[in-house]
Structure 1
Amino acid sequence: MQLLRCSLINFTTISLFVDDISQFDYRKLTVKNGEVTILTDDYTTYANEIILKLKSMVDIKFHCIISYDDLSKSVSYHSFCSSKEFHDKYYTEEKLGVDYHKEGSTFRLWAPASTSVNVLIYESGDFTLPEKPRKYPMSDTNGLWEARVKGNLKGYFYTYEVKVYNEVNEVVDPYAVACGVNGLRGAIVDLKETNPTGFRTYKAPEINNYTDAIIYEANVRDLSIHPDSGIKHKGKYLGLAEEGTESSKGVSTGLAHILELGVTHVQLMPVFDYSYLSVDERHPYKYNWGYDPQNYNIPEGTYSTDPYNPTCRIYELKKAITQLHKNGLAVIMDVVYNHIYKYEDSNLEKIFPGYYFRAYEDGSLSNGSGCGNDIASERSMVRRFIIDSLLYWATEYDFDGFRFDLMGIHDVDTMTEICEKLKSTGKNLMLYGEGWHLNTNLREDQKANIYNSFKLKEAGFFNDLIRDTIKGSVFNIHDKGFVGDGEGKADTIKFCAVGCSLDWFNKPAAFYSPSQSINYCSCHDNYTLWDKLKLSSPYVSEEELKAMNKLADGIVLTSMGVPFLHAGSEFCRTKEGVENSYNSTDTINRMDWHRKSKYLDVFEYYKGLIRLRKEHRAFRLYDRAQISDHIEFLPGGRSSVAFMIKDHANNDTWKDIIVIYNGAAHVNTILIPSGQWHVVVNKHKAGTEVIETIEGGNVSVEATSIMVLYR
């Protein structure tokens, strides 16, 4: 007889599977929990499963081994860690991390599997310097370890020495809010001293609905690192905070460029502390996007002017946020709670092996993230950690929303609770993410992906349908998409134009409301929009590529939903054909401000479309009823789409608006209602000013262009 697998069901019950239960002899079986032998009280069998009832409780601080003759099997605690029994005993609402006061600090760490924990206090945050730390033992109450250290510890650094399953690890506190260089020691700081002047004074204007936002995804380093950015603090938080900068060619750069463009929200690519193995804060010459978390509640040090100073990175990130808020911009944080850089080396795994990461019953890790591990968001203390972290960033740093990397890894219940808890901040925070269908070990109905969007009505989802329909599939460089005269895509563009929120064009609604549809055709992932268009249409002229570029984001900016722009698409950003530039050089990733000068006409076109959307509420319908009542599709030509937003939709000052997308490489003639129509967008110009006035009837729409008219 072979022992196949065993799992702890509750503190006194073990499930054991064998290959041939007919050979099972109860008398040969022993259960050992650490050095203690636990007697069995009773057992029942079902098929090849044996349910063992124990006379005493299993202590999860020690491995539990089942022996039978000369066979042995370790009892898995995996399922038990998600049980009500586990939650009832070990869950805590106590404040975790360091509670700093001048007269003394309290340290709390949640580590139920540990047999001893000590606080180690260092004078230096530099892990390369030899130093013997002061050691303070912590006491345990149902897995919550606590110690109070007297005296003013501000300016000191700390770690925890954790003994778990006979291994001793030195770890950084998951709840640390400051750190030394490279994030390898937590720092004890007074956060009240890290606020720049005006930090609590300036607030971003709040939006009534997600559809009022125009999101601009940017990287702190990319925005300013170009030699001719005119920005002093290149690649730094402070570079993002500099006002009025311009290149030698006289075009605005950095923050000034963003303000000139006119977007409402800046989404910053990861600014939390990511792995020092990706970029060494001491010598930050390497490049990395930062989607490999190390310390979730601490800003990344490479973007600060002094990564050795634990308050510097905090102050400077807050300074950047202050400047953005002062200039009327909301700031969204890109968060990566779905995976860790390398799970076996992570502080979370070293503190409580097997708890923070989703696995199968055989112990193998779930890998829907494609990064070797998935965070087990469904577990109560993991869920609490994520929520605590989000609330911390929202309140301490005053972020205005969160973009979730690989949101489909998380469970619906966690995302629902996040939406509810974020309301406690009193701010109308945006929350959206990548709702891809991922092969993670959760029930299909529990995955926070786009197929379960109706269960998460307050969250937005990146709409890959509009992305791939506009420019062609990201998985096929030859697919031209609608803007490349792609055949058979008009009906899908129509469906996307109403935010994929109505059962139209033989497609079931993907979203409860257009507010859930994050409309985009490019982001940091995959090829830039310009590069994808060049690859899919290699023989067209540069002028034709520019027209395709303008039409692509023109559709994004005039469709119902939430428009999202990749920084630099407004001046035909290229990464020289590099598809995944996560660790490419600055020359590949940087915002090339000379390119803005070259494609200034494209920039002006984007600026006009953004002004049009901001000034006219008809483009920002936020529920199904508005769309059903106010949008009417008109007959279109081949590879074209035309629709009318009618009757002062959303209380717009314009009575009726017609939007026409012509993805064909030829002129299309569209029949529009009679009357006088004022053209505000054509192939060459966009905005709110009247370009020309025409009479209804047949209207000619130039090849590869968008047209907007009103009456």
Structure 2
Amino acid sequence: MITIERTFNAYLDEMHIITILLPFSYQQGRSSGFSLLSDVEEEFPVVILQNNPIEGAVKYTCRIDHDVEFGKQYWIVDEHGGKTDLQIGAVIRTSDFDEKFYYDGPLGISYSTEKTYFRLWAPTAAKVKLKLKGALEEDAELFPMERGERGVWSCGVSGDLDRFLYSFLVCINLEWKEAVDPYAVSSAMNGEYGAVVNLDNTKIKKPELPPLLQLTDAIIYETHIRDFTIHSGSGAQKKGLYMGAGETNTVGIDGKPTCLSYVKQLGVTHIEFLPVHDFEGVNEKSPKEDYNWGYNPLHFNVPEGSYSSDPLDPYSRIRELKALIQAVHSQGLRVIMDVVYNHVYIREHSSFEKIVPGYFFRHDQYGMPSNGTGVGNDIASERLMARKFIVDSVSYWMKEYQIDGFRFDLMGILDIETMNEVRRITESIDPAVIIIGEGWDLNTPIPEDRKASIRNQEKLPGIGQFNDWFRDSIKGSTFNLYDKGYALGNEHYYDAAKQVLAGSIGLEKKEKGIFLSPAQSVNYVESHDNHTLWDKILVCSENADLITQQKKHRLATVMVLLSQGIPFLHSGQEFFRTKGGNGNSYRAPDSINQLDWERKSRYFNNVEYIKGIISIRRSIPLFRLADAELIRNSMRFMDIKKPLIGYVLTSSDQNAECSHAAVIINPSAAEEEILLPDGDWDLIADEHTAGNSTIRKISTRLTMLPLSSYVLVCRK
């Protein structure tokens, strides 16, 4: 990269608008006229529309009638004979630019043993070169790339380039920058170069999975590749790696299943892995020295190398991640990939910014990068090529890795049209795909009605949203550690608890809800973020005895699993997962983040209880109704003493094995007697046991013990 010293600056900010900044230190910031000079010495008139003094300079807003050709060099000359290059400015953020350069074809590499083609979208570049080197070679060879339609540069290199490393050298505004291909599918160690690979040599056949007839059939179990097996008692051989997470028949110190085999037995339908795309924060040369959740994205289509057995081998990360996914599929489970398209690790260092400066990121009214994500940059998903990249990327992961769903980190940063296009394209690949995301309303400069946030859920059909109303009503505020929710004994959340149990659709009145469909409500009380539920209970119920704390925890988890919507569990939640009180463990050591498999053995009774509740949900369709009207027609709350909540679900299916199901929740410290609706009730979950077998028959009255939940059914 070279350093350019300019006496003054000129920017193309719209297709026919140039902004010129003359500092006071140069001709006192004055010039009565300017002209535009092409690289072949053609001169074009520039009309000054207005000039305004700004800090340290005079800003001239000018119009040109000449159509600037992108990829060619232009100069601005002032009345004094001063000269500066015309830089590509805010024009790249205009709709005219988007329409002119939108490209709907393939990007990245096309490999064959005879020749590999490289394609890069860089419409503002004057020159582009391909830098290519063998994996073990120090010296690189440069190949000029040819500019084609819509700003796509390409070149073909003969020979078998398998395992060759590559990058692009891009010249924009007279500066050369080196960047990794945004569409790279593998990389050198630590993502320093893209890597050419033959994906045909990594193919794995996807086994047939049990049908997923509706989104509310899903039960999601969230974990982190490293957390899942790194504990000494995990039973896995390849701890902390893709290969370890894919091991089956592992057992703990009690001789009972751990890891993937355990999750299969638990009864969930989907495993959600925290980001597995290439991220910053862990040095792949010594991966065990650092820890990171993975929300520092570098290369979106490249698997993270620190989870592979050999980060130096560009095939290792691909084959081992694919083998993990196949192992999950072999258990009859589906895989959800946590994706972070809302930002990059460092904007200035990202390939997007180096290749098309200013295009892929949002800027505020003053031209400064926006920061709704809180990490210094927001991806401008509304721009056509940014949207194309996101859609191309999720399509790639589904087709190449057989991913079954996506969890969008900070989805509220992205725009509605992009998310609906994601839903459309992924559903065309697999109708059973599940798309969920964090629809938080974040301060990013797009109109409120275009954000993919919870408040706009009616414009996002088929996309699930993490339900913070559910979370905070049941366990208490995430951001106030001492606030107790309904399950922790706070009656103030009584009415809210009833609404969220009904899928947050507004049971009596739609306006009381926040979703049009239960499939949009991802119900949870714990995730990788913030304190675990157990750690919160230890603080806000510190005077309670251990058994009482465990009962409160169980009650909250049962409410997650028996509410209408999509239940979401944080791995280890079923055995009271703790992070030692750490509320933000994104780079804490393994001792904090690891899934402690000895706790699974210690709290085996609670694990069995939660497993039983899961089996109830899966076997009784009434607990996973697919639409709001079905819920309104079938769900009735019982008239019982507050703060207890009881409700009955009635099936409209004349052939259903279970005609009615009832759930009664007692979050109080008192024993209460409940009068049941008429019917022959089978108790299938009480304070000790849960499952599909009848514990005992009950006709009219039920005694509820403190801090307990009961499930009853009428069978035909």
Structure 1 length normalisation: TM-score?
0.92
Q: Does 1:207 align with 2:217?
A: no
Paired position in structure 1 for 2:116 = 105
Paired position in structure 1 for 2:196 = 188
Check whether the contact 2:37–2:44 (CA below 8 A) recurs between aligned residues.
Answer: no
Q: 1:140 aligns with which of 144, 147, 163?
A: 147
TM superposition shift of 1:79: 5.4
Q: Return closer, same or farther for 1:328/1:162 CA change in 2, 3 Å cut-off.
A: same
Q: Does 1:264 align with 2:242?
A: no
The CA distance in 2 between the partners of 1:180 and 1:51, in whole Å, is: 46
Q: Does 1:519 align with 2:523?
A: yes
The CA distance in 1 between the partners of 2:399 and 2:592, in whole Å, is: 35
Check whether the contact 1:432–1:462 (CA below 8 A) recurs between aligned residues.
Answer: yes
SS at 1:658's partner residue?
strand
Paired position in structure 1 for 2:501 = 497
Paired position in structure 1 for 2:230 = 225
Q: What pairs with 1:290-439 in structure 2 (closer than 5 Å)?
A: 290-439=294-443
Moved more, 67-76 or 461-470: 67-76
Q: What pairs with 1:545-556 in structure 2 (closer than 5 Å)?
A: 545-556=549-560
Check whether the contact 2:231–2:597 (CA below 8 A) recurs between aligned residues.
Answer: yes
Q: Return closer, same or farther for 1:112/1:487 CA change in 2, 3 Å cut-off.
A: same
Q: 1:150 aligns with which of 134, 158, 171?
A: 158
What are the superposed Cα offsets for residues 62-98 of structure 1, whole Å, 9 maximum, x if unpaired? Answer: 6887979999999996653343421232111221111
What is the letter of the counterpart of residue 143 of structure 1?
A: G
Calculate percent identity across the aligned residue pairs: 38
Q: 2:99 aligns with which of 80, 88, 108?
A: 88
Check whether the contact 1:635–1:671 (CA below 8 A) recurs between aligned residues.
Answer: no
Q: 1:471 aligns with which of 475, 496, 507?
A: 475
TM superposition shift of 1:16: 9.1
Gaps of 5+ in 1: 19-24
Q: Return closer, same or farther for 1:213/1:162 CA change in 2, 3 Å cut-off.
A: same
Paired position in structure 2 for 1:22 = none
Check whether the contact 1:205–1:330 (CA below 8 A) recurs between aligned residues.
Answer: no
SS at 1:655's partner residue?
strand
TM superposition shift of 1:403: 0.3
Gaps of 5+ in 2: 1-8, 23-28, 54-58
TM superposition shift of 1:303: 0.7
SS at 1:373's partner residue?
coil
Q: Return closer, same or farther for 1:27/1:283 CA change in 2, 3 Å cut-off.
A: closer
The CA distance in 1 between the partners of 2:36 and 2:282, in whole Å, is: 42
TM superposition shift of 1:111: 0.8
What is the letter of the counterpart of residue 106 of structure 1?
A: Y
Q: Does 1:705 align with 2:708?
A: yes
What are the superposed Cα offsets for residues 27-79 of structure 1, whole Å, 9 maximum, x if unpaired? Answer: 82426578779744667689999974412123555688797999999999665
Check whether the contact 1:679–1:690 (CA below 8 A) recurs between aligned residues.
Answer: yes
The CA distance in 2 between the partners of 1:340 and 1:573, in whole Å, is: 30
Paired position in structure 1 for 2:68 = 58
Q: 1:165 aligns with which of 161, 166, 173?
A: 173
Check whether the contact 1:514–1:623 (CA below 8 A) recurs between aligned residues.
Answer: yes
What is the letter of the counterpart of residue 414 of structure 1?
A: T
TM superposition shift of 1:259: 0.9
What is the letter of the counterpart of residue 266 of structure 1?
A: I
TM superposition shift of 1:281: 3.9
Moved more, 680-689 or 611-620: 680-689
The CA distance in 1 between the partners of 2:643 and 2:80, in whole Å, is: 73
TM superposition shift of 1:182: 1.1
What is the letter of the counterpart of residue 710 of structure 1?
A: V
The CA distance in 1 between the partners of 2:81 and 2:628, in whole Å, is: 66
SS at 1:270's partner residue?
coil
Q: Return closer, same or farther for 1:47/1:371 CA change in 2, 3 Å cut-off.
A: closer
What is the letter of the counterpart of residue 202 of structure 1?
A: P
Q: Return closer, same or farther for 1:205/1:530 CA change in 2, 3 Å cut-off.
A: same
The CA distance in 2 between the partners of 1:105 and 1:324, in whole Å, is: 33
RMSD: 2.8
Check whether the contact 1:534–1:545 (CA below 8 A) recurs between aligned residues.
Answer: yes
The CA distance in 1 between the partners of 2:669 and 2:35, in whole Å, is: 75
What are the superposed Cα offsets for residues 241-282 of structure 1, whole Å, 9 maximum, x if unpaired? Answer: 11111112223111111011110000011111111x443344
Paired position in structure 2 for 1:21 = none
The CA distance in 2 between the partners of 1:181 and 1:69, in whole Å, is: 52
What are the superposed Cα offsets for residues 650-695 of structure 1, whole Å, 9 maximum, x if unpaired? Answer: 9642111111122222223333212321111112211111112112
What are the superposed Cα offsets for residues 327-380 of structure 1, whole Å, 9 maximum, x if unpaired? Answer: 100001000000001111111111111111111232211111011100110110
What is the letter of the counterpart of residue 263 of structure 1?
A: V
The CA distance in 1 between the partners of 2:654 and 2:366, in whole Å, is: 55
Check whether the contact 1:226–1:591 (CA below 8 A) recurs between aligned residues.
Answer: yes
The CA distance in 2 between the partners of 1:271 and 1:681, in whole Å, is: 38
What is the letter of the counterpart of residue 58 of structure 1?
A: V
What is the letter of the counterpart of residue 209 of structure 2?
A: A
SS at 1:544's partner residue?
helix
SS at 2:168's partner residue?
strand
Paired position in structure 2 for 1:536 = 540
TM superposition shift of 1:15: 7.7
The CA distance in 1 between the partners of 2:75 and 2:610, in whole Å, is: 63
Check whether the contact 1:117–1:137 (CA below 8 A) recurs between aligned residues.
Answer: yes
Q: Return closer, same or farther for 1:615/1:68 CA change in 2, 3 Å cut-off.
A: farther
Check whether the contact 2:87–2:173 (CA below 8 A) recurs between aligned residues.
Answer: no
Check whether the contact 1:557–1:610 (CA below 8 A) recurs between aligned residues.
Answer: yes
What is the letter of the counterpart of residue 113 of structure 2?
A: K
The CA distance in 2 between the partners of 1:73 and 1:663, in whole Å, is: 73
What are the superposed Cα offsets for residues 491-516 of structure 1, whole Å, 9 maximum, x if unpaired? Answer: 10111011111264795321110000
The CA distance in 1 between the partners of 2:61 and 2:589, in whole Å, is: 57
Aligned length in residues? 692
Paired position in structure 2 for 1:178 = 186
What is the letter of the counterpart of residue 417 of structure 1?
A: E
What is the letter of the counterpart of residue 416 of structure 1?
A: N
The CA distance in 2 between the partners of 1:694 and 1:74, in whole Å, is: 85
The CA distance in 1 between the partners of 2:19 and 2:368, in whole Å, is: 18
TM superposition shift of 1:101: 0.9
The CA distance in 2 between the partners of 1:46 and 1:312, in whole Å, is: 59
Q: Return closer, same or farther for 1:292/1:478 CA change in 2, 3 Å cut-off.
A: same
What is the letter of the counterpart of residue 138 of structure 2?
A: E
Q: Return closer, same or farther for 1:27/1:282 CA change in 2, 3 Å cut-off.
A: closer
Check whether the contact 1:30–1:37 (CA below 8 A) recurs between aligned residues.
Answer: no
Check whether the contact 2:221–2:268 (CA below 8 A) recurs between aligned residues.
Answer: yes
Structure 2 length normalisation: TM-score?
0.91
Q: Return closer, same or farther for 1:350/1:672 CA change in 2, 3 Å cut-off.
A: same
What is the letter of the counterpart of residue 306 of structure 1?
A: D
TM superposition shift of 1:423: 2.5
Check whether the contact 2:35–2:46 (CA below 8 A) recurs between aligned residues.
Answer: no
Check whether the contact 2:507–2:631 (CA below 8 A) recurs between aligned residues.
Answer: no
Q: Does 1:694 align with 2:701?
A: no
TM superposition shift of 1:636: 3.0
Q: Return closer, same or farther for 1:169/1:284 CA change in 2, 3 Å cut-off.
A: farther
What are the superposed Cα offsets for residues 565-613 of structure 1, whole Å, 9 maximum, x if unpaired? Answer: 0000010000000000010111110011111111111100110011001
Moved more, 84-93 or 648-657: 648-657
The CA distance in 1 between the partners of 2:505 and 2:218, in whole Å, is: 18
The CA distance in 1 between the partners of 2:86 and 2:479, in whole Å, is: 43
